[in-house]
Every structure is written in C-alpha cells, then in structure tokens.
Chains A and B, each alone.
Chain A
Amino acid sequence: MDVTIRISGAQGEGVESAGRLVALSLARLGYHVFAFRQYASIIKGNPAMFYQIRASDRKIYSHGNWNSYDVLVALNKNALAAYEGRAKYVIYDAADRQSPQRAGEVPVPLTEYALKAGNKIMRNTVAVGALMGLLGVDLSILAELLRREFGEKGERIAEQNIQAAEMGMRHAAKAAGSVWGLSRAGERRLLMSGAEALAVGSILAGMRFYAAYPMTPASPIMHFLAEAGPKFGVAVVQAEDEIAAMNMVVGASFAGVRAATGTSGGGFDLMHEGFGLAAMIETPAVVFLSQRGGPSTGLPTETEQADLLMSLAPSHGEYPHAVIAPYSIEDGLYAAAKAFNVAEKYQMPVVVLTDLYFNESLATVDDIDWGRFKIERGQLVTSPVVWEEYKRYKLTDDGVSPRTVPGIPGGMHVATSDEHDERGDVITDRHLPEVRRAMHDKRMRKLAKVAEEMEGPASFGSGEIALVAWGSTAMPVLDLLSHRRDLGAVVFRDLYPLNREAAAKALDGGRALIDVELNREGQLALYLKRELGVEFKRRVLKWWGEPFSVDELSELV
C-alpha cells in the first residue's frame, strides 16, 4: 500500500490544517507517513498552495511523485485546474463544476455541508471527511483528533467539525465507495516535522537555552521550544536580531548551559562574527542553519541547499568547527544530539545544516534509539581549581583544554576574542608571534580529533551508478532506490571535518558517480573534488525552489 494525496487550495483556506489532520490520522493508523507543504510568502491569497501527504505500509523517506498521485482534494477552481490531470480521484466542491467530466471525479457539496454544520470555514473538514471516505478510514480517528485540537473550550466547534467530516465521508462513500479500505497497519506512529525533530533532539541533548530571531524555515524550532521547552527547563529568548542571538548562545554556554540558535542564510550571515567568537574563545555553540533559496531574501518559503560552501567557512580567519546535515527527519533527532556533544567536547561551534524541505515536512519516526542521546561534556571542570595554576587555554596534544564556568572557585579567567595566551590574557598589546602560533595551532589541532568522530557517508543499494547526495536530498533519493535496482546511493551527513578515509572508500569502487543537489553549482561535488579529488560523471541539479521528487529523479538519472 502506498497512497499519495494532494490537498490544494488558496493560502488561508485551510489546506494546512487539513493536511496535518490527514497526516496525523494515517500515522495513528500505523502507516509510515510523509507530508510536504508548498506555499508562498504571503499570509492569505496564493490560489493553489498544496499539502502532499503520502502513506505507506513500508518505510518511506519523501513525499513521492510530483506528476502522479492518487487523490487530489481541490478546495477551489484554481487548484482543480492546476492539478487535476495528475490524480486518479479528484474531490472538489460540487459548486465549482456543473457535472463530472472524467471518471474518478467525486464532487462533494463542500460549502453546502459546511454551512449546514454551522460555518463555511469548515469546508476543509468536509473535504477531509470525503477523503477519509475514499480511503475507508473510520470517522472515530478524525473525531478524536478534532476533539483534541479544539480542546474542552472548543467542544461545540469540535462537534460541528465532526459533523462536517461525517457528511463529507458519507457523501464520498456513497458516490465512490471506500476505494482503499484502509485498516490499521500497526501501532500508532509518532509524526513530527524536521524542525521538531531538531528541537526534541536538543532537549534530549540537555540544551537549556535557545535564542533566535524569527526566520523561515527555522522559526518552527523556536515555536516548538517556546511552547514545550519551559517544562524541561529550556529558556527561550526571542532576540532583537541574529547578532544578539548568536552572542547570547555564547553567553549562556560560557555560563555552562548548553545553548543553541537557529536561523536561515540571511540570519546566519549576521551571526558570522559571533560564530568566530565561539571558536576563538573555545565555547561550545550549536547553530541550526535552515536553508531556503538565496541570495539575499531570496525564496523565503522555498527550499534550496546552496549554503553548504558557506557553512564550511562562515566567519573570517581560520578556526575549527563542524557541520552535520541530517538526511532524514528521524536523523534530525540524532544529528542535534551529536552536535551538542561535539560542540562541548571540542569547545567549538557546530552547524546543523538543514533546509525548508527538511524543517517543514512531517514524517513518522521509527523506534527511537534512546541510547544515542548520551550527554558527553568533555573537559568541563566542576570542582575548584587553583587560580595561580589554572590555564583555561592550556596547550594540549589534542588542543582541548579544561574549561571552568563562572561559580567554580579558582577558575577565573577571561575568554578573549583577541589572540590570547594560555591563561586567556590578551597578547595583542605586544607582538608575540610564538604565542600566536602556538594558540592558533592548538585550536586547529582539534579538527583532527573531531574528524575521527565524524561518520563516513552511508552507502545504500549496490547498483552500478551511485547517486551522491547530502542532507534532505537523500530523502527522495532513498525512495527512488526502492524501485530502481540499477542505482545505489552515497549519502553524506557529517560533512565537516570530513572523515576522509571513509569518504574516499565509499566513493571508490569503480561506480559512476552522479551528484544530486538542490543548488546550481554542485557544491558537494566541488567540495569533494577539492578534498578528495573525486570526479563526478554527471550532476543533477535544481535551484528553483522545490525538492526533487521520486518520479522526477527517476527520469533524470
């Protein structure tokens, strides 16, 4: 079983809540679900935004196909005109078309039923009910979700919505029958967005401070943390700008609290100086860099992967840091947790690199491996030290020095953005090339150790042709592999510092390599060529604001 549904309508017409409702219902029934939303940077209007929901009885990673799906739910005429030729079944408002033109059309009096239930705005609920009728899903699941959504205070509204859904469901079942007859596929599955996975991973990693300035597609991380965080001791500060957010992360972290910020490209541009500060004063920091189309304001609500090269060298000067790009929504949980450990053990800033497609899509997650959230604090000093002897930036073999935090007697030192000596004293009032050299070397030495902790790329399939991808592009690539046995895939997640040996091994083996990325220049290919001299046979690139789909990739490779 593998069903794909596209719900389309004007922005503000309820596509969003309908999509969530459908995705949640199917996850509750035990299906693997993936849901992707395409929308525009406008609050109301945009005639045909859509939510595409895919459900399957086996593991899936992406929203599936662009050009053919099973059901279209068109909430208005524009949506009907834009997408109808691609779906086997079309649910639309009977008021929008006099009589059906093709087989599979299921006109439902959406507006009429909504009004009957109490309010026109419930058209989307009628449509969801009709869709559930086609799928053969029981009303009780919907009813439960609607009651939860509107809460006790909204009891009446919930009941009206349930009535609206029921009318839609009866109508569709009568007109077309229960086509799919879906029954329970297993235990209820957890459904979360990529942004939520990052937030949950962070809470599990012990993050207790988050500061950010709103920016799509990073904002949902802050939204979730603001709501759920306080119960777990997470302070959330909406900073005055991204410069403040980054510097707040440094401050909280200096005080011994695990801290992070999140933003998109433009906000990260503003953070660069503070990012370098974290590296210079060897203070842990995690940045969730959620890409969207650039440059400048770019495509605020559309996806892209064009900040890879920037993430490799954001701030000025040479300094150590790490970049991790989760390749599935579930992996977002683990990537976040790893970022905090790497940041704290090596006392450096870490970028968790995702994009809009990742952050905003919803996916069911499999059994979570709780063992992967072990908190490692590295060289954190928790008992008094002797001030006269303590060297915060002691030169060590691996470059990591014991770190005290305020409150620890004897551990007083100044964390200095200027070049400094082992005690943290500023040296820039003199010319001390030996000290500069030793301190710079010390910081850079950490990279070798971090590289040992970086996982090599994951290899999938064994075809003669290997698709090489990173981050969220791996999601449609992995789905493609399940019906293209001629293909394999190499997926990069821990991008920097590179585990060179493992990377070289995964890319070797005589297979033809195809670079698949959501940018115009093929940034991963450029990076791998620079680092390992890897040659790609072809590049499959896309830079117009939408993720790859499985059917599209299948054609392209």
Chain B
Amino acid sequence: MASVKVQVDRKPMDFAAARAPIWCPGCGDYGILEALRRALAEVGARNEDVVLVSGIGCSSQLPHFMKTYGVHGIHGRILPVATAIKISNPRLTVIGVGGDGDGYGIGLNHFLHAARRNVGVVYIVSNNQVYGLTTGQMSPTTLKGVKTKTTPYGSIDSPVNPLALALSAGATFVARGFSGDVAHLAQIVSEALRHRGFALVDVLSPCVTFNRINTYDWFRARVYKLESAGHDPADFEQAYRRALEWPTLDPYGKIPIGVFYRREDLPAYEEEVARLLGGRSPSEAPLELTREQLAELMSHFG
C-alpha cells in the first residue's frame, strides 16, 4: 500500500475552513462534520493530502467547511470521482460524503461497484431518510408509510437497506453511526480511515426541518452499540443478520450502530491498479516516454 504521511498533534479545528456551516441549527450534519474533523486529527492527516468528494444535497455542502481539497460534484456521482482520485494518487486520503438520496438513490449503481472493487475510499452517508435540499421529498431510506411532500398519503415504497447491500456487494468495512453520538461516530470514522479498501459509514443524521419522524429522540430510544452486544465484526453472517435488524426486519425496532463488518486481508483496488502498472500509480508514471518505450509502443503496428 502507498504510505500515507502522518503528522502528530493535529487538532480537529486544524481542519476547519474559514467559512462556518450553513445548515439549519440542529441538523445532524453538524455531528458528522465534528466527528470527521476529530477522526482526521486522530489519524494525523495533513490538510493537503485529504480530498473530500461530495455530491448535491444539504450534506454535500460539508467540504466547504473543511480546510482540505474537495470536489463538490454533481448529484449521485461521488464515488466515481473519488475512485479515480484514489487510483490516480493512492497517497491521498479520499473521503466521500453525501446524502441518502445521492448515494442510495441516484448513485446506487456506483455504490455497489465501489464496494465490489474495494477501492480505498471512506464513504460517509448522511442518512436523514429524506431529501433535505429539495425540501422534503421521500428518499430511498424513507420508511414505508411515512408522509413526505411526495408521499402525502404515506410512502408505499419499501426502504433500501444500505448496510445489507454493501455487505452483499463485497464491502470490506461496513459501519453505522449516529450524529447524536459524536464521540462514537468519530471512533468509527477513524477506524474507517485506517481501513484498507472501501469503507461505508452510514450515519443516522436527523433532518430537523423535513423529517419529523426520525428525530434525535426517535433514534436515542432505539440505537444500541454492537460492541456492547458481543458482536464479532469478523463474522460475515453475524454482520449480515445484524444489518437486517433495521430497517428490513423491523423498521420501528432496535437499531444497531458500530462496526458491523471488517476484513483487512483483501487488496484495495488502487493496489491492484498499481500492481498492473508495475508498482506505481498513474500520478507517479512519467508523462513522457523514453526512447525504448516509444519503440515498444510503435512495435504494435508493424
């Protein structure tokens, strides 16, 4: 693996941009922002080596509040952008951050493919079970029966289960956090940052403006920590069963948070690419060819 350079004594506020967040007061995304800054400080990241990639949505504004590189791209396309950045320069710490609509709706295809490729990207999804920025429509994680602007008589769509999807697609790090427990979330994100390969961190992140059902209190009454429940994240079948608990088996039941699954023995996609390229990444390959290389290239055409 390409070695990521670390720096000691980093503080969360070292990652704060000049600009203050613009979310509604109380929005779950504040918790994600704080947890991310703490985790980056914890792993000793250098500002210039961090790239945050977001899509479109309230949560996708996050890179603007961070003193790092960022691509605030288009709706649903976080992971292709992030994948290519990581392949191009594996020394960078690449973090995707966006909404449930962005990642599990319009961008779902990319989510499954990033998971199966095991590309070294930490993907944090602010799962508020609603489309925040577009003012409160149903999202792919909206529970059945819930009323939103586009489901005034209650949603008739079953919600997706992002954790189960990630597991079945081959993700090697699958976790869920809660914006209302920043310390716990920061711990999960740090572990994700240290992971080799793709890491999903789904975050229960209340939208205080458009989601009156899944509130902080609603979650507090339901969440429990996997690590206190004797869960073994090395056990895939156990992880899958835990992933089904909510919302697949019981949409209004207990909600496990913590690390569901992790394995560190599989090569990350960027390592595989570098292996094909003879042990270097595209950003390390010289732009100009040597004489011998030129001759080799042209030898295809005789």
Is B89 interfacial (CB-CB < 8 Å)?
A: yes
Given contacts A230-B277, A230-B278, A417-B72, contact A255 B296 (CB under 8 A): no
What string of 1s and 0s marks CB contacts (under 8 Å) between A403-426 and chain B?
A: 000111111111111100000011
Contacting B63 at CB < 8 Å: which of A254, A406, A414?
Answer: A414
With a CB–CB cut-off of 8 A, which chain B residues contact A228? 297, 300
Residues of the A chain whose Cβ atoms lie less than 8 Å from the Cβ of B50: 406
Residues A412 and B69 in contact, CB atoms below 8 Å apart: yes
In the complex, chain A residues whose CB is within 8 Å of the CB of B74: 247, 273-274, 277, 417
Contact A250 B84 (CB under 8 A): yes
- The answer to the question of A180 belonging to the interface, with a C-beta cut-off of 8 Å to chain B, is no
A407 touching B80, Cβ below 8 Å: no
> Are B288 and A251 in contact (CB-based, < 8 A)?
no
B113 pairs with A281, CB closer than 8 A: no
Asked, given contacts A244-B110, A247-B73, A248-B84, whether A375 binds B287 with beta carbons under 8 Å apart, the answer is yes
Interface string of A238-263 (1 = CB under 8 A from B): 01110111111111101111110000
Instruction: Given A237-B87, A425-B19, check contact A256 B283 (CB 8 Å).
Output: yes
Return A351 CB to nearest CB of chain B, in Å: 19
Q: Is the CB of A196 within 8 A of B300?
A: yes
Q: A257 and B293 in contact (CB under 8 A), knowing A209-B282, A412-B68, A418-B72?
A: no
A232 at the interface (CB under 8 A from B): yes
Please encode chain B, from 1 to 34, with 1 for each CB lying within 8 Å of some chain A CB and 0 for all others.
0000000000000000001001000000000000
* CB-based nearest A residue for B55: A417
Choose among B64, B109, B301 the residue that contacts A191 (Cβ–Cβ < 8 A): B301
Choice from A239, A255, A409 contacting B80 with Cβ under 8 Å? A239
A491 to B282, CA, bound (A): 36
> Which chain A positions have C-beta within 8 A of B280?
233
- CA–CA, A249 and B77, complex, Å: 12
Residues of B within 8 A of A255 (CB): 51, 84-85, 88-89, 92, 283
Chain A residue numbers with a CB within 8 Å of B67 are 387, 412
Out of A192, A234, A415, name the residue touching B282 (CB < 8 Å): A234
Tally of A interface residues using CB under 8 Å: 65
Query: Quick check: A414 and B285 within 8 Å, CB to CB?
Result: no
A451 within 8 A of B: no
B281 to A, closest residue via Cβ: A235
Q: Bound state CA distance, A196 and B298, in angstroms? A: 11
In the complex, how many angstroms separate the beta carbon of B140 from the nearest chain A beta carbon? 18
Q: Which residues of chain A have C-beta atoms less than 8 A from B230's C-beta?
A: none
Interface string of A220-231 (1 = CB under 8 A from B): 000010001011
- Given known contacts A233-B277, A233-B280, A254 and B71 CB-to-CB distance under 8 angstroms: yes
**A211 at the B interface (CB under 8 A):** yes
Instruction: Tell whether A200 is near chain B: CB-to-CB under 8 Å.
Output: yes
Closest Cβ–Cβ distance, residue B73 to chain A (whole Å): 5
B13 to chain A, nearest CB (A): 15
* Cα distance A417–B75 in the bound complex, in angstroms: 10
Any A CB within 8 A of the CB of B83: yes
A-B residue pairs, 3 tightest by C-beta: A233-B285, A251-B84, A206-B287
Q: Give me 6 other A-B pairs in contact (C-beta within 8 A), A190-B298, A274-B77, A365-B301 excluded.
A: A232-B289, A232-B293, A244-B113, A251-B82, A281-B71, A414-B72
